[in-house]
Amino acid sequence: MQTEVIFPLAGRRVWVAGHRGMVGSAIARRLSSEGCEVLSVGRAELDLTDQAATYAWMAANRPDVVFLAAAKVGGILANDSFPADFIRDNLQIEMNIIEGARRAEVAKLVFLGSSCIYPKFAAQPMTEDALLTGSLEPTNEWYAIAKIAGIKMCQAYRLQYGCDFISAMPTNLYGPGDNFDLQSSHVMPALMRKAHEAKLAGKSQLVMWGTGSPRREFMHCDDCADAVVHMAKTYSDLSHINVGTGEDISIAELTRLVADVVGFKGDVVSDPTKPDGTPRKLLDISRLRALGWSPRFGLREGAASAYQWYLNHGANGR
Residues that bind ligand GFB (CB under 6 A): 75-77, 79, 114, 116, 139-140, 143, 172, 185-187, 190-191, 208-210, 214, 216, 251, 274-278
Altogether, the residues listed in the chain come to a count of 318
- The one-letter amino acid code at 267 reads D
CA atoms lying within 13 Å on the CB side of residue 282: 12
State which residue, 58 or 221, has the beta carbon closest to ligand GFB.
221
240 vs 31: CA distance, rounded Å: 21
Q: Are 90 and 72 in contact (CB under 8 A)?
A: yes
Q: Is 32 exposed, middle or buried (0-12, 13-18, 19+ CB in 10 A)?
A: exposed
**What phi and psi values does residue 142 have, to the nearest 5 degrees?**
-70, -50
State which residue, 76 or 224, has the beta carbon closest to ligand GFB.
76
Say whether the peptide bond before residue 125 is cis (omega within 30 degrees of 0).
yes
Please identify the residue of the shown chain whose CB is closest to the bound ligand GFB. Answer: 75
CB of 191 to ligand GFB, least distance (A): 6
CB of 275 to ligand GFB, least distance (A): 6
55 is annotated as an active-site residue: no
Q: Are 283 and 126 in contact (CB under 8 A)?
A: yes
29 vs 285: CA distance, rounded Å: 24
State which residue, 251 or 291, has the beta carbon closest to ligand GFB.
251
CB of 60 to ligand GFB, least distance (A): 32
State which residue, 67 or 157, has the beta carbon closest to ligand GFB.
67
Among candidate residues 55, 118, 143, 161, the one labeled active-site is 143
Catalytic sites, residue numbers: 143
